[in-house]
Structure 1
Amino acid sequence: MPLVTTTEMFQKAYEGGYAIGAFNVNNMEIVQGITEAAKEVSSPLILQVSAGARKYAKHGYLMKLVEAAVEDTGLPIALHLDHGEDFAICKACIDGGFTSVMIDGSKHSFADNIALTRQVVEYAHQHGVVVEGELGRLAGIEDDVNVSAEDSSYTDPNQVEEFVRATGVDSLAIAIGTSHGAYKFKPGTKPQLRFDILEEVSRRLPGFPIVLHGASSVVPHYVELINANGGQLKDAIGVPEDQLRQAAKMAVCKINIDSDLRLAMTAGVRQQLMADPAGFDPRGYLKVGRQYVKDLVKDKIVNVLGSDHKV
């Protein structure tokens, strides 16, 4: 089975009231952990690559890893560029075999965002690739994306119809209170997503797939393991999983998860190195990290996304 686009995935997810997990990949062990979990519970997948991941692992290596995962699992897998900042990187990924790209023009004016997004859409659609756009700005830090709380903004529902019509995008990332990174909320505050914005957006765009970025829950178990093994992740707070489940039952068809994968991998590696201080075989500690990623992804698919047994 070749790589697929997200078109059919999103249609089924919207109609079925669940979301597809979009998991960021950086190396072989993370790819293996994600795809092995999805295979065991028969879930479609989006593997996504950030600009930082392309710099770290190189485009060609990541392509071969994902192609190997498709061959090994037989799952419908889409390969997606996460937070493409300009036309050039989107074009490189389209030309290089990606089946989906995100053009993030949220830092620009509304008019400039439309112009940039439309440029990417026109090129992508000529090559059978789908495009995700973004309205609103999420706070937080993830690779090359760094937005302060002061510069963040919720999505304005009054703009979504014009944006989708003018650009031709296939899905839309909106800002309703999620945030990039592991420190999404201030200590002592009660995280609450703006479901009123999501409801209004879905009312204005009936049947249209919505995306949530920055949706890691910062799973306490992995934070505790990291801190117990020499880490310092004090006050790391994520998005409550019950709110993600609610979003998945609404118009949200794609939920991005990156920080939780990093936490799971790091927790496994740290725990193994502390348990075996004399060990120096990367296969030993990376194997544990891979298992932690697998356990995390399986739990997300079954208990948060609801995309299990949808293949």
Structure 2
Amino acid sequence: MGLVTSTKYLLHARDNKYAICAFNIHNLETLKAVTSTSFESNSPVILQATPGTVRFAGADYLVAMAKTAADKYNIPIVMHLDHGEDYNMVLECLRAGFTSIMIDGSKHPYTENISIVKKVVELSHALGVPVEAELGTIGGVEDDLSIMGDGVYTNPEVAFDFIEKTGVDSLAVAIGTCHGLYKKKPQLDYVRLAEIRKLVSIPLVLHGASDLLDESVKKCIELGISKVNIATELKIAFSAAVQTVYYEKPAENDPRKLFTPAIDAMKAVVKNKINLVGSADKVTRISH
């Protein structure tokens, strides 16, 4: 069916109180694990790549692999730029065929964030591609992204103003999550999330969902989250499986024998997350 944009699927998730997983991919193996499991679960899925992954793998390679999976499995697959850092990166990904864009201007002053996002929205919307932005800052370290401290929480009233001025299609909100693994138990501000949901209608995004308790993810979805980002848990599953092979067979040098267990380990994570957010068996319902 080819790659799709995310808007229709995120709106369906918003209206029906479930979420769609966005899994960060880095190579063929991570992509195969995510897409094959999504097919088995009959779930829409968002593949996403950070600027670091785009530089590592190449935007054109990522799109080509994602298109192959979309044609093979005939489920809705989105190719999304995660935490796009500048206009040139966005342009590169759009030219390659990405079907969803995040531009992250959250580290800049508010008015500059608006200006950055608005420029990307104008470009992406001209091509029919939706845009995600971030308001507040989500702390932690993931891939090539590093935010010192605990971040700055999203102000509900400011979120409404931001959406009105930028025309953004979805919004990543800062409510106490962080990228990477948690060094201490996160204190999520559910009241803040509920207030944001009351004031804005566009789909809301939860970054830093790896390592969160299942009940925390479920409560965030109940309160209005429609997209849940998963990155670190996939990387841990991948690396742990490879390390196990080396531990058991130190002389192993066949990548296929290293990566097959890694794919299986990641598939288990993907299946668990799809069931957690409630997107399994949603493809047919959305289509009709």
TM-score normalised by structure 1 residue count = 0.89
* Alignment check: 8 A CA contact 2:190 2:223 kept: no
Alignment map for 1:200-239 (pairs within 5 Å): 200-205=195-200, 207-217=201-211, 239=212
Q: Aligned partners of 1:96 and 1:68: how far apart in 2?
A: 14
Deviations 1:130-181 (A, max 9, x none): 000110101111222111116x211111201110000000000010111111
Name the amino acid aligned to 2:219: Q
The aligned residue for residue 114 of structure 1 is: 114
User: In the alignment, what sits opposite 1:143?
Assistant: 143
Percent of pairs with identical residues: 41
- Kindly indicate whether the alpha-carbon contact (under 8 Å) linking 1:208 and 1:251 is maintained by their aligned counterparts in 2: no
2:174 alignment counterpart: 175
Tell me how far apart the structure 1 counterparts of residues 144 and 265 of structure 2 sit (CA, whole Å): 26
Give the alignment of 1:143-162 within 5 angstroms: 143-149=143-149, 152-162=151-161
**Whole-Å separation in 1 of the counterparts to 2:144 and 2:35:** 25
The 3-state SS of whatever aligns with 1:148 is strand
Tell me, yes or no, if the aligned pair for 1:51 and 1:143 is still in contact at 8 Å: no
Do the aligned partners of 2:153 and 2:176 also contact (CA within 8 Å) in 1? yes
Are 1:263 and 2:257 an aligned pair? no
Q: Partner residue of 2:259? A: 286
Aligned residue runs from structure 1 range 33-44, under 5 A: 33-44=33-44
Q: Secondary structure at the match of 1:277?
A: coil
Post-superposition Cα deviations, 1:32-75, rounded to whole Å, max 9, x if no partner, equal 00111111110000000110101111122111111111112111
Are positions 1:276 and 2:249 aligned together? yes
User: 1-side partners of 2:77 and 2:208: how far apart?
Assistant: 21
Match of 1:185 among 172, 183, 186: 183
* Distance in 2 separating the partners of 1:169 and 1:91: 17
Q: What one-letter code is carried by the residue in structure 1 that aligns with 2:223?
A: M
Partner of 1:306: 278
Aligned equivalents of 1:129, 1:78: Cα separation in 2: 11
Cα distance in 1 between the residues matched to 2:74 and 2:243? 32
Q: Output one character per residue of 1:190-215: Cα deviation in whole Å (capped at 9) or x when no partner.
A: 3331111100000111x320001111
**Separation in 1 of the partners of 2:93 and 2:230?**
20
1:197 aligns with 2:192: yes
Q: Measure, in 2, the Cα distance between the counterparts of 1:249 and 1:199.
A: 9
Determine the structure 2 residue equivalent to 1:2.
2
> 3-state DSSP class of the match of 1:81?
strand
Question: Any idea what SS the aligned residue of 1:308 has?
Answer: coil
1:242 aligns with 2:215: yes
**Other-structure match for 1:74:** 74
Kept in 2: contact 1:19–1:249 (CA 8 A)? no
Residues 68-77 or 39-48, more deviating: 68-77
Please name the residue that 1:166 is paired with.
Answer: 165
Matched, 1:297 2:270: yes
Contact 1:153 1:175 in 2 (8 A): yes
Q: How far does residue 301 in structure 1 lie from its aligned partner after superposition?
A: 0.4
8 Å contact from structure 1 (residues 215, 255) kept in 2: yes
Q: Which runs of 5 or more structure 2 residues have no equivalent in the other structure? A: 284-288
By how many angstroms is 1:274 displaced?
A: 1.2
Which residue does the alignment assign to 1:62? 62
Length-normalised TM-score, structure 2: 0.96
- How many residue pairs were aligned? 283
- Helix, strand or coil for the counterpart of 1:26? coil
Q: Which ranges of 4 or more aligned residues in structure 1 deviate by more than 2 Å?
A: none
Q: CA separation in 1, counterparts of 2:23 and 2:159?
A: 25
Secondary structure, counterpart of 2:149 in structure 1:
coil
Aligned 8 A contact 2:153 2:173 in 1: yes
